[in-house]
């Protein structure tokens, strides 16, 4: 099977597996697991923040940020297609007792005037704006990159209004590699940041959240409350460190494969590419076919390719380290076969 559902499906490398076996461990709730401490120190330095915390998942990292920054009754500004809004089971409402205020962004980039408009005035009727969130790269917009400058427009606004800013950087290293800009350029203006070790970087589990010491102290407590205080967590932190030291530069291959895949699929009659490919995510349009996107992915499955339907007439494909360029060509051939059988026939109407 060629698995293009997500870059979460990657298997740990041999080096990661060996590091798991050899990891020196302690009890991380007592903060004495040396492998976890080493990962957190390394990540804090890499992201240009005072401190960092190893958390179980990207979702947990984002939730901890909301919990640590906000009070119940606050409102959180976020992009309308963001992961926090779409895919986290309304956890910000369930756990933090806050409500989302969505702002639609072009390519995932919120217009700073729209964000300013969404900030609540000091009024007895209004919730207080507790946090502004951004996402980079932007998943549902098709792996689009938000430049450090575009992000700074929003974070500067946050500073002016004294509202903290949080970056969901599940795939931030993809943006950094694609633009050839150091990761710190993307993180420095945010109050807090979350990066995933398991999206494209190949680690089996885990994310990092980073910010100042006060935030991390609060985040550590929230992680414990959420049941995320792990004990001999060094066994999973060890591959996480390898994700950060050895697996970032190779993301360029995934971007090259994604561009080739988009080019190949874009040339197939009946198929289109929704958004120009910037990193490792491709949104494929199936409007020109007479099957639904769900039927299309079922047919692709029988051709040996796993993909996720993403919305009306849209399929989501993601390249990653476990997909070779040969498999990219095989995918194009499989898509071509399925499309040919389903092409909209004008004569039949
Ligand atoms: N996204 C997953 C699904 O939940 C959609 C995927 O397969 O892409 N932020 C962003 C931008 C993400 O794309 C994801 C994962 C997360 C946060 C959450 O990370 P996890 O899955 O570790 O909780």
- Residue-wise pLDDT for 134-148, tens only, equals 999 999 999 999 999
Q: What pairs with residue 3 in β-bridges?
A: 306
- Residue 17: phi and psi, rounded to 5, are -65, -40
Low-confidence ranges of the chain (pLDDT < 50): 349
Atom of ligand 1 nearest to the CA of 60: 23
Mutate to test the pocket of ligand 1, among 8, 57, 92 (most ligand atoms within 8 A of CB): 8
Q: What pairs with residue 285 in β-bridges?
A: 272, 314
Residue of the CA atom closest to atom 1 of ligand 1: 83
CA of 155 to the centre of ligand 1 (A): 23
Residue of the CA atom closest to atom 17 of ligand 1: 58
- The CATH code for residues 251-348 is 3.90.1150.10
Q: Report how far residue 346's alpha carbon sits from residue 349's, in angstroms, rounded to the nearest whole number.
A: 5
Average pLDDT, the chain: 97
Q: What pairs with residue 317 in β-bridges?
A: 282
Residue labelled with tokens 């919990």 = 67
pLDDT at residue 85, as a whole number: 98
Residue labelled with tokens 């120190």 = 41
At residue 304, the 3 state secondary structure works out as: coil
The structure's pTM equals: 0.97
CA of 160 to the centre of ligand 1 (A): 30
Give ranges for CATH 3.90.1150.10 in the chain. Answer: 251-348
CA of 199 to the centre of ligand 1 (A): 8
Give ranges for CATH 3.40.640.10 in the chain. Answer: 14-246
Mutate to test the pocket of ligand 1, among 55, 196, 308, 315 (most ligand atoms within 8 A of CB): 196
* CB burial readout 187-215, b (16+ within 10 A) else e: bbbbbbbbbbbbbbbbbbbbbbbbbeeeb
Q: Report how far residue 21's alpha carbon sits from residue 141's, in angstroms, rounded to the nearest whole number.
A: 39
How many other CB atoms sit within 10 Å of the CB of residue 168? 28
Q: Report how far residue 303's alpha carbon sits from residue 107's, in angstroms, rounded to the nearest whole number.
A: 32
Per DSSP bridges, beta strands 192-196 and 305-306 are unpaired
Residue of the CA atom closest to atom 18 of ligand 1: 58
pLDDT tens for each residue of 58-116:
999 999 999 999 999 999 999 999 999 999 999 999 999 999 999 999 999 999 999 99
Residue 240 to residues 169, 193, 217, 324, Cα–Cα distance (Å):
16, 17, 21, 23
- The CATH code for residues 14-246 is 3.40.640.10
pLDDT at residue 345, as a whole number: 64
**Ligand 1 binding residues, C-beta < 6 A:** 6, 8, 57-59, 83, 87, 135, 139, 168, 170, 196, 198, 207
pLDDT at residue 37, as a whole number: 98
| Contact yes or no for 319/250 (Cβ under 8 A) | no
Please report how many Cα atoms fall inside a 13 Å half-sphere around the Cα of residue 218, on the Cβ side: 14
Residue labelled with tokens 């969901």 = 168
Query: What is the total residue count of the chain?
Result: 349
- Residue 287: phi and psi, rounded to 5, are -55, -30
Residue of the CA atom closest to atom 7 of ligand 1: 6
């Amino acid at each position: 099977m060629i698995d293009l559902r997500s870059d979460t499906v990657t298997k740990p490398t041999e080096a990661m597996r060996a590091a798991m076996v050899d990891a020196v461990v302690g009890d991380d709730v007592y903060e004495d697991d040396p492998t976890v401490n080493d990962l957190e120190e390394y990540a804090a330095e890499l992201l240009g923040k005072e401190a960092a915390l190893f958390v179980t998942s990207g979702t947990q990292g984002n939730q901890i940020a909301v919990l640590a920054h906000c009070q119940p009754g606050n409102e959180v500004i976020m992009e309308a297609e963001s992961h926090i809004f779409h895919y986290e089971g309304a956890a910000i409402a369930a756990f933090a007792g806050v409500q989302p205020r969505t702002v639609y962004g072009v390519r995932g980039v919120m217009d700073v005037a729209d964000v300013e408009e969404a900030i609540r005035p000091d009024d007895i009727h209004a919730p207080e704006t507790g946090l502004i969130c951004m996402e980079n790269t932007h998943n549902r917009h098709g792996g689009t990159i938000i430049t450090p400058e575009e992000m700074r427009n929003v974070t500067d606004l946050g500073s002016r209004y004294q509202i903290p800013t949080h970056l969901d950087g599940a795939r931030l290293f993809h943006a950094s590699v694609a633009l050839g800009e150091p990761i710190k350029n993307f993180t420095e203006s945010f109050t807090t940041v979350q990066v995933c070790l398991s999206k494209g970087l190949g680690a089996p589990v885990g994310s990092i959240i980073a910010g100042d010491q006060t935030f991390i102290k609060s985040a550590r407590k929230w992680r414990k409350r959420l049941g995320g205080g792990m004990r001999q967590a060094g066994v999973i932190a060890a591959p996480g460190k390898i994700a950060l030291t050895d697996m970032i530069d190779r993301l360029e291959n995934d971007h090259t494969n994604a561009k080739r895949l988009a080019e190949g699929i874009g040339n197939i009659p009946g198929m289109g590419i929704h958004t120009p490919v910037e990193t490792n995510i491709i949104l494929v349009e199936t409007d020109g076919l007479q099957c639904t996107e769900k039927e299309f992915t079922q047919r692709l499955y029988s051709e040996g390719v796993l993909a996720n339907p993403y919305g009306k007439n849209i399929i989501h494909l993601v390249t990653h380290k476990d997909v070779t360029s040969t498999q990219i060509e095989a995918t194009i051939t499989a898509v071509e076969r399925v499309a040919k059988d389903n092409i909209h026939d004008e004569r039949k109407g």
